[in-house]
């Protein structure tokens, strides 16, 4: 059974493809078990369930929540950004609907503040800042949750940078604004109270929000999980597009020792990571009740 439990859509997040195309591609590639895990958004879950039934694909409700997390003795006590995956929750739960709505509103506010900071940098460089028309154009390109990738792609379109990576390296990292201050405890309670399971996403991703920001040592990462996160987690994402085999093996061994769920997914935004590109064993599906 082909599996991908970490996919982002254009409809509700920062993916490049709408839900209809995602499920069509999944069907064509023979992927039988998937989850749409949009950032801080669950509005697309009902349609995803319907599409899964249309294409005879097993489906697991999903969401990716960003949290602030700190661990004593690491990063000089400063919090880092991590991502938590929620699976199998009830998308009609009032609390999770309300919280994700708040998160979405904060994302939009944050994006506008980031754009203001970028404009300040452009003015320092003698470059005409982005105006109201530019802001309207960026917003019109957003089908899902407004985020930094939308700004980056527009800056490429305007010729301000050569590519998305340059946009982040030169402007977006420096002009960042704090995300919504959601804690691991709160995120865990939100997902569990809605009947779901809580999974640490891409724990050793060197290019993303992960424990790598604390340390690249796998043993230390898992010690942090054991000492400061375990009571709030039900599982670990062991297979990920930016996890090497050593990471997968270490995370699997830890999960088995502590009787945690193990999951995996491409983290597909379709730019260029594609759906269903990881070899995820079929026993991952056996852990869940799915639609």
Q: Are strands 31-36 and 2-7 parallel, antiparallel or unpaired?
A: parallel
| Strand-by-strand arrangement of the 261-265 sheet | 62-69, 80-87, 197-200, 235-240, 261-265
Fold (topology level) of 2-100+183-286: TIM Barrel (3.20.20)
CB 204 within 8 A of CB 87: no
Residues of the chain with CATH 3.20.20.140: 2-100+183-286
pTM of the model: 0.84
**What CATH class is the domain 105-172?**
mainly alpha
CB 232 within 8 A of CB 188: yes
Residues 45-97: pLDDT tens digits?
A: 999 999 999 999 999 999 999 999 999 999 988 899 899 999 999 999 999 99
CB 42 within 8 A of CB 106: no
Local confidence pLDDT in tens for the 291 residues of the chain: 999 999 999 888 878 889 999 999 999 999 999 999 999 999 999 999 999 999 999 999 999 999 999 999 999 888 998 999 999 999 999 999 999 999 888 877 888 899 999 999 999 999 999 988 888 888 776 655 567 878 998 999 999 999 989 999 999 999 988 877 799 999 999 999 999 999 999 999 998 789 999 999 999 999 999 999 999 999 999 999 999 999 999 999 999 999 999 999 999 887 666 888 899 999 999 999 876
Q: What are phi and psi of 87, to 5 degrees?
A: -130, 145
Residues of the chain with CATH 1.10.150: 105-172
């Amino acid at each position: 059974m082909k599996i991908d439990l970490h996919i982002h859509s254009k409809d509700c997040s920062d993916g490049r493809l709408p839900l209809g195309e995602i499920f069509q591609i999944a069907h064509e590639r023979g992927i039988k078990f998937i989850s749409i895990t949009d950032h801080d958004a669950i509005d697309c879950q009902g349609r995803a369930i319907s599409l899964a039934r249309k294409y005879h694909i097993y489906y697991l409700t999903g969401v990716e929540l960003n949290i602030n997390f700190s661990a004593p003795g690491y990063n000089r006590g400063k919090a880092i950004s991590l991502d938590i995956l929620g699976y199998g929750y009830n998308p009609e739960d009032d609390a999770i609907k309300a919280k994700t709505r708040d998160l979405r509103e904060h994302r939009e506010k944050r994006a506008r503040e980031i754009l203001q900071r970028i404009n300040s940098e452009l003015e320092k460089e003698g470059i005409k800042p982005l105006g109201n028309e530019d802001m309207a154009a960026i917003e019109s390109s957003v089908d899902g949750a407004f985020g930094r990738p939308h700004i980056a792609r527009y800056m490429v379109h305007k010729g301000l940078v050569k590519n998305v990576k340059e946009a982040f390296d030169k402007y977006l990292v420096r002009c960042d604004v704090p995300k919504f201050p959601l804690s691991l405890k709160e995120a865990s309670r939100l997902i569990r109270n809605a009947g779901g399971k809580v999974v640490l996403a891409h724990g050793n991703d060197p290019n993303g929000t992960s424990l790598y920001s604390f340390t690249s040592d796998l043993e230390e990462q898992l010690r942090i999980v054991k000492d400061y996160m375990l009571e709030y987690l039900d599982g670990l994402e062991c297979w990920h597009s930016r996890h090497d085999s050593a990471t997968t093996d270490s995370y699997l061994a830890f999960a088995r020792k502590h009787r945690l769920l193990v999951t995996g997914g491409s983290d597909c935004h379709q730019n260029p990571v594609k759906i269903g590109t990881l070899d995820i064993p079929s026993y991952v599906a056996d852990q869940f009740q799915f639609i």
